[in-house]
Structure 1
Amino acid sequence: MEINFTTLSMVIFLIALTFKLFRNKSLSSIDPSKLPPGRTGWPIIGESLDFLGTGRSGHPEKFINDRMHTFSSQIFRTSLFYESIAVFCGPMGNKFLFSNENKLVTSWWPRSLYKIVPSQPVANSPEAMSMRKLLLRFLKPETLHSFVGAMDCVAKQHLKTCWENKSQVLVYPLAKSYTFALAWKLFVSIDDPIEVAKLSDAFSVVLCGVISIPIDLPGTSLNKSIRAANFIRKHLHEVIKKRKIDLENKKASPTQDILSHMVLTCDDNGQFLSEADIADKILVLILAGHDTASAAITFLIKYLAELPHIYNEVRKEQMEIVKSKAPGELLNSEDIKMMKYSWNVACEVMRLAPPVQGTFREAMTDFTYQGHTIPKGWKLYWSGNTTHRNAKYFPDPERFDPSRFEGNGPAPYTYVPFGGGPRMCPGIEYAKLDILVFMHNIVTKFKWEKIYPDEKIVIDPLPIPAKGLPIRLQPQVY
């Protein structure tokens, strides 16, 4: 499909003019000198290209650090994804946003997400709060720990199929394959490799459009993402229809996964969720539940390759668990409790390479922070990158040191890979089990080395090694 360049340029100009007039009107009552320092960049796109980069070269950490140095280490303003943005920095900024949830600020995502998932509930709506309660009920530790054995089965099967008898592998796509298969197994009870593989590539396309410039034209990331989401949604509708029939015929359990919970859940008016609502909720849940864990596992493999003494300590802890179990016995919740050093290692990995760069909030009313006025409707952004590598909070920040997480761990609001406050990621325990079960299986079966010692890190939109982290594998000898 061809688009007339003159027509497209005129449309963009009119949108830019409208947006500029609207934004100026919305700020007319605000003294510009009271706004946070910073710059807004180009019309419409603002500084989005600098933030996201082009050709997978964007680096939000550098974007934020440069502006903290230029404008303020506490707060600065920018413009991203059509929106005026105030970036809150440091533990004080994190604390302010986390502790004022539903008071001064509320959750917000770029409009690109709502184009991909139109039925995504508005923050603080009864539907959104009901959905969060459902997720918290399913994702609570005691529920998830009952699935540890099933998670172990998925990890073992994945390694047997994709890693064993290989001299080298590409870690990132395999980590995505594992976490994706695990999410489908636990959330929707689907473990057919052909069915899962059919959806995996589509989910990768969806992810690339979630944080993108919200222009839905052929060839854009958003347009590709919308089409991929529609493909997944169609497949989910078929799965939901079958589950309803299986539940009626008692061929499926009401508590076997989150899909059953959703099918049997009523809203506040006593109405069952529609198939469209369930499909969108599952789409968002799997999107959130597998790709961040993929990035964390990839960097875990990276650091264990670079730091053999850390690898040896992790393997020593995991081998003690192996020795305590009968042949063929699966992991259980008690084994997870024994993985204290391994979890400290995983936490240090997520400090240095946080899978989630940050998330957004929206100002519910005008308020003042650090002497600056934040207008109602402005979008607010926090990022672990403002504290995770700051020597003030983590001495010698580039050094890999799992002992940082012993005892009481880091100071409050300095380590935030899962956010904080009422909006802390509800999947934190799921991510922990996901990572630890995989770590147990990988270190007890293999040792490895990086093929490219100086492989660069890119943002796509999560941080990943530029070449996907190829490694040489060597089976462990018992």
Structure 2
Amino acid sequence: MVEEHLLLLSLLFGAILFLSFFSLHYLIYKCTHKPTVPNIVQANFPTPPGRKGWPLVGETLDFFSELRNGTIHKFITDRRNKYRSKVFRTSLIGHPMAIFCGAEGNKFLFSNENKLVQIWWPASIDKIFPKSHNKPNNEDFVKVRKILSAFLKPDALQKFVGTVDTIMKQHMQTDWIHREQVEVSVLVSKLTLALACRLFLSIDEPRVFDRIAKPIKDISAGMLSIAVNFPGTNFNRALKASKMIREELEVMIRQRKIDLSEKRASSTQDILSHMLLAADESGRFFKEADIASYLVGLLHGGYGTLNAALTFIMKYLAEFPDVYHQVQIEQMEIAKSKELNEMLNWDDLRKMRYTWNAVNEVLRLMPPIFGAFREAITEFNYGGHTIPKGWKLHWNAYSTHRNSEYFPNPEKFDPSRFEGDGPAPYTFVPFGGGPRMCPGNEYTRMVILVFIHNVVMKFRWEKLLPDEKVVIDPHPRPTQGLPIRLHPHKP
């Protein structure tokens, strides 16, 4: 009871800080910015229908409450149906925001990147992943994207399949075998962090994983929080966690520079080497602090999205034995084609068609990212409405993934949806789309399929908490970590 009272007091105090902060921000903004109403009137189109919600707070609390409860599609669907519009307006985290609905909205935003819209994230994310400059977001994005694409494209990833398979088998041997019960999210968190450190940074030291495991979780918890740096808040912990990991990475970066200059490290061995040696047309290299910040974001991205995907794959395979059985049959056929102790290869992954259909159905129901934000860089019209310059925009995976127009009986788990040509374009967007599509989608596919092969060949399993609650903050997760009972296959 005392803890509940303390929690309520802390929430109340946080709300007061939130309102005070945005009240001040609003007054400053009103005094220093000219109103944009004349431009809207001249466009001859109204702004999207909707409501601003509470003063300053807007509909932020409703939005993030629905998001956390996994019902964000209801927040969007209810308003889309109410306003009968392809886009509606709301107010989130202190900004007017247009939410684009359906596959058409996804296509519009993805197709107009850097033309009408650009990436935008809440202030909390910019502060957690700071940069040493204020240059336009797109300059470094193009450079980083080029590096990641070169390292994470299928041709480059093929050489890592055997390494990932070896790490998986070691992981199964040390953390899964000989245990009757495990907590899935704990084990896959350890695995995905080890893989990211090994492949992205060439780090293979358990003590490093242990040091950064909790800070990475703290970063996740604080990413979409109110950007008020008050001790004890999720945002405060995320800032401290980011700083701690960046400082650790900067030590590694300086050592890698020495190793590269003395030929003790390869220029192509991992993403860290690529980033250190990449220069733009003017000969400018990344600063060490910026590399550290980008790497923290990369570690978090690889860690958070993969944890969610692997955890919910285990959940749904436990709930649908017929799907598990079909996956197992496919994996056994692949295992039979291998010599003793032969590792998986890229061709093996291409044979896992049914398995990947099942994975896609998991990603449809529980996309690792709920969506993303954009900003209008110019005024434009969409769906008969004016979107003013500077407005924030949002696309949401759940609003199409659980839309019966695109996926009949959307709550049903059905891998056959992905047979043949699969879903219509822009309806299934677990990794986004357009120039901003997640560059790690092929890496994610590789890790998921190798993981499934190894776990299915060793176990079947059952959930210990049939009605375990799922929350999203910002990635989906079972609140108790998905405890399961393992049943090893007989030799």
The TM tier, using the shorter chain, reads: over 0.9
**Distance across 2 between alignment mates of 1:345 and 1:9:** 45
Code of the aligned partner of 2:426:
Y
Instruction: Report the counterpart of residue 417 of structure 1 in structure 2.
Output: 430
Greater mean deviation of Cα atoms: 237-246 or 39-48 = 39-48
Code of the aligned partner of 1:38:
G
Q: 1:386 to 1:19 in 2, by over 3 A?
A: same
Tell whether 2:25 aligns with 1:15.
yes
1:85–1:380 contact (8 Å) kept in structure 2: yes
Which of 298, 302, 306 is the matching residue for 1:285?
Answer: 298
How many angstroms does 1:238 deviate by? 1.0
Q: SS in structure 1 opposite 2:263?
A: coil
Tell whether 2:214 aligns with 1:201.
yes
**Distance across 2 between alignment mates of 1:22 and 1:175:** 49
**Distance across 2 between alignment mates of 1:94 and 1:8:** 31
Code of the aligned partner of 1:101:
E
**Distance across 2 between alignment mates of 1:461 and 1:98:** 21
How many angstroms does 1:341 deviate by? 0.9
Code of the aligned partner of 1:144:
L
Which of 36, 40, 46 is the matching residue for 1:30?
Answer: 40
Unmatched 5+ stretches in structure 1: none
How many angstroms does 1:43 deviate by? 3.6
Greater mean deviation of Cα atoms: 5-14 or 345-354 = 5-14
**Distance across 1 between alignment mates of 2:70 and 2:323:** 30
Instruction: Report the counterpart of residue 76 of structure 2 in structure 1.
Output: 64
2:76–2:399 contact (8 Å) kept in structure 1: yes
Q: 1:55 to 1:316 in 2, by over 3 A?
A: closer
How many angstroms does 1:15 deviate by? 3.0
Greater mean deviation of Cα atoms: 366-375 or 120-129 = 120-129
1:50–1:58 contact (8 Å) kept in structure 2: no
Tell whether 2:54 aligns with 1:48.
no
Instruction: Report the counterpart of residue 304 of structure 1 in structure 2.
Output: 317
CA RMSD after TM alignment: 2.4
**Distance across 1 between alignment mates of 2:475 and 2:433:** 20
Code of the aligned partner of 1:62:
K
**Distance across 1 between alignment mates of 2:402 and 2:431:** 16
| TM-score normalised by structure 2 residue count | 0.91
**Distance across 2 between alignment mates of 1:475 and 1:76:** 51
2:279–2:285 contact (8 Å) kept in structure 1: yes
1:366–1:374 contact (8 Å) kept in structure 2: yes
Which of 484, 488, 491 is the matching residue for 1:471?
Answer: 484
Tell whether 2:97 aligns with 1:85.
yes
Alignment of 1:178-193 (within 5 A): 178-193=191-206
**Distance across 2 between alignment mates of 1:290 and 1:456:** 21
Code of the aligned partner of 2:96:
S
Code of the aligned partner of 1:25:
P
How many angstroms does 1:81 deviate by? 2.2
Instruction: Report the counterpart of residue 119 of structure 1 in structure 2.
Output: 131
1:78–1:87 contact (8 Å) kept in structure 2: yes
Greater mean deviation of Cα atoms: 205-214 or 33-42 = 33-42
Tell whether 2:327 aligns with 1:324.
no
How many angstroms does 1:75 deviate by? 1.2
Instruction: Report the counterpart of residue 261 of structure 2 in structure 1.
Output: 248
**Distance across 1 between alignment mates of 2:71 and 2:83:** 18
1:108–1:123 contact (8 Å) kept in structure 2: no
**Distance across 2 between alignment mates of 1:350 and 1:367:** 32
2:52–2:89 contact (8 Å) kept in structure 1: yes
Code of the aligned partner of 1:230:
K
Q: SS in structure 1 opposite 2:486?
A: strand
2:128–2:242 contact (8 Å) kept in structure 1: yes
Instruction: Report the counterpart of residue 109 of structure 2 in structure 1.
Output: 97
Q: SS in structure 2 opposite 1:125?
A: helix
Q: SS in structure 1 opposite 2:369?
A: coil
Unmatched 5+ stretches in structure 2: 1-12
Alignment of 1:203-282 (within 5 A): 203-282=216-295
Code of the aligned partner of 1:353:
M
Offset from partner CA, 1:430-463 (integer Å, 9 cap, x none):
1100111111111011110011112221112211
How many angstroms does 1:424 deviate by? 1.5
Instruction: Report the counterpart of residue 110 of structure 1 in structure 2.
Output: 122
Offset from partner CA, 1:393-414 (integer Å, 9 cap, x none):
1122222221211111111111
Code of the aligned partner of 1:434:
V
Give aligned pairs, total: 476
How many angstroms does 1:73 deviate by? 5.2
Instruction: Report the counterpart of residue 388 of structure 1 in structure 2.
Output: 401
How many angstroms does 1:179 deviate by? 1.2
Q: SS in structure 2 opposite 1:387?
A: helix
**Distance across 1 between alignment mates of 2:110 and 2:19:** 41
Code of the aligned partner of 2:49:
P
**Distance across 2 between alignment mates of 1:4 and 1:470:** 33
Report the identity percentage.
Answer: 51
Offset from partner CA, 1:20-55 (integer Å, 9 cap, x none):
667882445424981111122234432222222299
Instruction: Report the counterpart of residue 405 of structure 1 in structure 2.
Output: 418
1:52–1:59 contact (8 Å) kept in structure 2: no
Instruction: Report the counterpart of residue 458 of structure 1 in structure 2.
Output: 471
Which of 115, 132, 143 is the matching residue for 1:130?
Answer: 143
Instruction: Report the counterpart of residue 7 of structure 2 in structure 1.
Output: none
**Distance across 2 between alignment mates of 1:308 and 1:4:** 45
Q: 1:415 to 1:9 in 2, by over 3 A?
A: closer
Greater mean deviation of Cα atoms: 122-131 or 186-195 = 122-131
